[in-house]
């Protein structure tokens, strides 16, 4: 109850859920890079996940984390808007200048959520959801062919451009959110404040570059050497 009712409790929930989501992004980015190396390897990972109970359970858990993070972000934004402006994070040791990301965390978060919805439409809906619902035999056959869906999505420059904008917004959100979360949880101090900022910057940049490398490479026409072309190709791109 304290976590919900108190301002500090809300910030703790935001920090814990944010760090958990960063761990998920680390796994997801590492998984995506496999698609640049081997189509069989990436599709094997997709098959291992698929609609298996542990993958479905993890997806539900992830949805809960995202929902909590977003709800508490709204609460903190409204609360801080009434009290002291739009800064959603309580930081005891701020740098000389307030970061642009710090002043626009909620807006960046909205962009991230919208991009995530597009991502779910392009991938989750055509993969895990297709297996769970099981209404379209062609879709079920392609459900674990992750490389096919990557090619089908990023062959469209419009989608790729939108993804890049999304990833840039996510980068700003992560670079500020990581060190701010550590500050809220009391792991940071005067010595570690700048260190966590540097760690957050480097770590977030690596994650985003991994995602971006996949999008740009497949948009440029890259295809893994072991990829087997699929004959039936539903048009998922508005450019076609």
- Using 50, 70 and 90 to split pLDDT, how confident is the model at 101? low
Mean pLDDT across 124-144: 87
pLDDT at position 92 over 60: no
Give pairs for 130-139: CB < 8 Å, separation 24+. 131/50, 131/51, 132/51, 132/56, 138/232, 138/234, 139/234
Contact predicate 209/171, CB 8 Å: no
pTM above 0.95, yes or no: no
CATH architecture of 2-84+99-219: Up-down Bundle (1.20)
Task: Count other C-beta atoms under 10 Å from residue 182's C-beta.
Answer: 21
Mean pLDDT across 11-17: 86
Q: Residue 197: is it exposed, middle or buried by C-beta count within 10 angstroms (0-12/13-18/19+)?
A: buried
Tokens read off for 166 = 């999304």
Q: What does the pLDDT read at residue 128?
A: 92
Average of per-residue pLDDT values in the chain: 83
């Amino acid at each position: 109850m304290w976590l919900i009712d108190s301002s500090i409790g809300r910030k703790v929930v935001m920090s814990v859920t944010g760090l958990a989501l960063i761990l998920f992004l680390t796994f997801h980015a590492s998984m995506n890079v496999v698609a640049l190396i081997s189509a069989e390897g990436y599709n094997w990972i997709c098959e291992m996940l698929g609609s298996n109970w542990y993958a479905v359970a993890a997806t539900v858990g992830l949805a809960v984390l995202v929902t909590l993070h977003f709800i508490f972000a709204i609460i903190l934004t409204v609360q801080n808007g009434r009290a002291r402006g739009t800064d959603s994070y309580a930081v005891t040791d701020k740098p000389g200048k307030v970061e642009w990301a710090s002043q626009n965390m909620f807006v960046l978060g909205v962009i991230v959520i919208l991009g995530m919805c597009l991502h779910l439409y392009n991938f989750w809906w055509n993969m895990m959801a297709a297996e769970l619902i099981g209404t379209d035999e062609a879709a079920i056959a392609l459900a674990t062919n992750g490389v096919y869906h990557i090619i089908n999505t990023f062959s469209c420059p419009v989608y790729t451009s939108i993804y890049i904008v999304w990833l840039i917004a996510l980068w700003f959100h992560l670079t500020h959110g990581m060190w701010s979360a550590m500050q809220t949880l009391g792991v940071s101090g005067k010595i570690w404040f700048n260190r966590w900022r540097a760690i957050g910057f480097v770590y977030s940049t690596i994650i985003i570059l991994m995602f971006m490398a996949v999008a740009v490479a497949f948009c440029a026409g890259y295809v893994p050497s072991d990829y087997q072309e699929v004959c039936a190709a539903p048009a998922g791109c508005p450019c076609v």
